[in-house]
Amino acid sequence: MLLAIKYNGFITRIGIYLKEMFPIPQRLIYSMLMYISFAIIASKIHSVTLDAASPIHFIGIINVFTILLILRLMDELKDKDLDEDLFSERPLPSGRVRESDISFSLIALIVLFITINVFNWITLLAALTVLCYTLLMFRYFFIPKILRRYLLLNLATHNPVIPIIIIFLWIMFGAQNDLPLSSLFNHYSVLLVVWFWLLLFSWEITRKIKSPEEENEYVTYSQIFGYIGAVIIAAVVQTLTFIISIYFFLIFNLSWFYLLTVTFAYIIVISGHVRFIHIPNSSTSKLKYFTEAYILTLFLAVIIDYVFINLLGN
């Protein structure tokens, strides 16, 4: 009986946490779009025919979802002191969720991540590499005082986890499709890694941009570069992703629907930046949401192009 009560209490508390900090439906959709768009472009690079009904796609989606949640839980624990000062309303600092709930969930997810990749030694090695890097991030690379003080140095040490994750997906994709490891990486595959990296890098920048009236003790890129400078950095990065998207259109013979969709998405996200620069206040500073919409639209454009051209067109 006591065990059942403790279990129900844990489920209730972790449900509160996930609802507020990592809503499962939205994050699962994001993981699905991210992995499927990756697999489609990877299949074009290596002329692999994708089986839309294959369970291997489910493994890829769960891998993306799991590692994103691992990163979120690690951030929750390593930033708990900062959150207590600046974000006391969040589940952990407010006491609605216990630190033990986060720690137990984190351990369970790490075990799950290893388990689903244990059936191929190359994939397992890549998965362990991802985990090792995330653990270094969790420990602030053993220099927490320095990294917490200097946001740009923190960015330089933490942001490489994105290409490491994408390379892991490449290795998993190669193992699933019997591709030799030596043939996986060419200039096209490197460009795909860069595309994903820049997309998520732009999200990292825009989520820490505030208007002058919103700034507080929380260090942001708009404090370091000024709000205009930070927006210009994000816009330049997103322009590079748009250029790579156009390159994909040209070399992979994608549809005009894809081209029009990514162009529309780029115009919208840049319009959000322009609006914020023109009217810098709390209502126009939510550039993170423009970036999220831009990223998801690019993923969807790849997927819809594939469905209509490769599946419905046959």
50-66 b/e (C-beta count within 10 Å ≥ 16 → b): beeeeeebebbbbbbbb
Residues of the chain with CATH 1.20.120: 186-314
Helix (H) or strand (E) holding 202: helix 187-206
* Residues in Cβ contact with 233 at an 8 Å cutoff, skipping those fewer than 6 apart: 205, 221, 225
pLDDT tens string 19-32: 999 999 999 999 99
Q: What is the CATH number of domain 1-181?
A: 1.10.357.140
pLDDT tens string 108-130: 999 999 999 999 899 999 999 99
Tell me the pLDDT band of 3, cut-offs 50, 70 and 90: low
pLDDT tens string 173-199: 999 888 888 888 889 999 999 999 999
> Under a CB-based contact definition with an 8 Å cutoff, are residues 27 and 156 in contact?
no
Nearest Cα neighbor of 101 from 73, 139, 70 is 73
Residue 313: predicted pLDDT: 55
pTM assigned to the model: 0.92
Looking at the structure, give the CATH architecture of the domain made up of residues 186-314: Up-down Bundle (1.20)
